[in-house]
Structures are given as C-alpha cells and as structure tokens.
C-alpha cells in the first residue's frame, strides 16, 4: 500500500499514514507468530526421556514415588 501512494501521487499525510499502518501490522503479525511458535515449542517440550542413561532421572523417580502414596518421597515434608 505504501508504494502505491507514491506511484499514484497521493498527499504526504496519506502516504505517512499508510506507512505507519503497514509497520504496525508487521509488528503485530511478527509478535503473534513468535507467541504461537513459543506456545507450540512449550507444548512439545513436555517431559521427554533422555536418550540413554544407566540411571533414572529425577522426574522418573518422582513418578515412581507418587505411586507409593504416603511414602514421603525425596524432598517431601510430612
């Protein structure tokens, strides 16, 4: 839209307004896309198991301790 105002010889205030409108639209679209990409990345992150490990992760140990109700797992106060 902004280059059209130059080609069609529109007044300067209209050209400036269109330029600001385009910049604001680009800002909003960029911020929205970044927000959505971060949302998808956070959803995919979840709880992933390590590739290979001889020992269990803290999350796996906590999941096992939740199965034993009332056992007072690591770091739990009574």
| 46: its two tokens | 């979840």
Residue-by-residue DSSP string for the chain? -HHHHHHTT--HHHHHHHHHHHHHHHHHHHHHHHHHHHHHHHHHHS-PPPSS-SS--HHHHHHHHHHSTTS--TT---
Let me know if residue 2 belongs to a domain: yes
Let me know if residue 72 belongs to a domain: no
Query: What is the C-alpha to C-alpha distance for residues 27 and 32, in angstroms, rounded to an integer?
Result: 9
Share above pLDDT 70 across residues of the chain, in percent, rounded to a whole number: 71
Let me know if residue 34 belongs to a domain: yes
Share above pLDDT 90 across residues of the chain, in percent, rounded to a whole number: 27
Using one digit for the tens of pLDDT, what is the confidence trace for 18-49?
889 999 999 999 999 999 988 888 776 665 66
Let me know if residue 17 belongs to a domain: yes
Domain range enclosing 13: 1-44
Let me know if residue 50 belongs to a domain: no
How many structural domains compose the chain?
1
């Amino acid at each position: 839209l902004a280059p059209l105002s130059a080609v069609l010889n529109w007044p300067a205030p209209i050209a400036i307004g269109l330029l600001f409108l385009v910049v604001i639209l680009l800002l909003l679209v960029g911020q929205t896309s970044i927000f959505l990409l971060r949302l998808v990345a956070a959803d995919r992150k979840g709880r992933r198991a390590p590739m290979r490990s001889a020992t269990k992760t803290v999350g796996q140990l906590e999941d096992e301790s939740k199965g034993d109700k009332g056992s007072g797992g690591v770091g739990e106060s009574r």
